[in-house]
Amino acid sequence: MQFQSDVTGIPVDVADVAEMTSLGAAYLAGMTAGLWRDDEEIMTLRKSGGLFEPQWSKSKRDDLYARWTEAVERSREWVHPS
């Protein structure tokens, strides 16, 4: 997650639960059953598992993005259709 934070330049808050798909399904089932009124009520149940803060400078992020876009452009000509 540190990499995602560095690349985007924004903090990434990781949930405390590893299996978010199952938890999301459980929350939706609970909303349907009337255990919770809405998304806002469910958000009060969420616990943070950690916060990753960006550590790269804007100039480093911009430089790496420029190099990545160049690599993508070069790869477009890699394979020629038959």
In Å, what is the CA distance from 36 to each residue of 10, 33, 43, 51, 57? 30, 8, 10, 27, 42
> Are 82 and 38 a contacting pair, CB within 8 Å?
no
Cα(44)–Cα(78) distance, rounded to whole angstroms? 50
Domain range annotation of the chain? 2-76
- The 10s digit of each residue's pLDDT in 14-37 is 999 989 899 999 999 999 999 999
* Lowest-confidence segment of 1-5, 39-43, 69-73, 74-78 by average pLDDT: 74-78
